[in-house]
Amino acid sequence: MVPKNRWREVAQAARDAGFEMLVDETVVDYLGKRPVRFELVAGLLSLRHNLRVRLRASVPEDDMNVDSLVPVYPGANFYEREAYDMFGLTFEGHPDLTRILLPDEWEGHPLRKDYGVGSVPIQFKSSPEAS
């Protein structure tokens, strides 16, 4: 586990140590399962050393701001935009933190476990009327 206030610093140290590739950066929502709701996860790869490392940081719901990894790994750009779009995490220093999958006017973050799934009534043949 990495303290979230040292997220970029630890990633930079990993890069300096030979982890030249960011494989993935994503978020896990532990609503009701852990004291700290969100976990930010980054997978790093060293081709030179044939090693992988996973960085994890707890992100509390009342402070969802984390330093962006884009200055260290430019490939973090789209991963962080997706994390912003789907979970609402914000990344300090990101060059273009805007929605990537949903329209700009979309409200909420659909991969949060407390996001309403909504419903669309479907009328099947030979069944009572849907409501």
Predicted confidence at residue 40, as pLDDT, reads 98
For 5, phi then psi, to 5°, come to -75, -5
Query: What are 27's strand-pairing partners?
Result: 40
- Report whether 3 contacts 22 (CB < 8 A): no
What's the pLDDT score for residue 117?
79
Tens place of pLDDT per residue across the chain (131 aa): 999 999 999 999 999 999 999 999 999 999 999 999 999 999 999 999 999 999 999 999 999 999 999 999 999 999 999 999 999 999 999 999 999 999 999 999 999 999 987 777 777 787 776 66
Q: In Å, how far from its chain's centre is CA 19?
A: 20
Q: Are 27 and 41 spatial neighbours (Cβ–Cβ below 8 Å)?
A: yes
Helical spans, DSSP H, in the chain: 7-16, 76-87
In DSSP terms, 43 is beta-bridged to 24, 54
Q: Residue 37 corresponds to which amino acid?
A: R
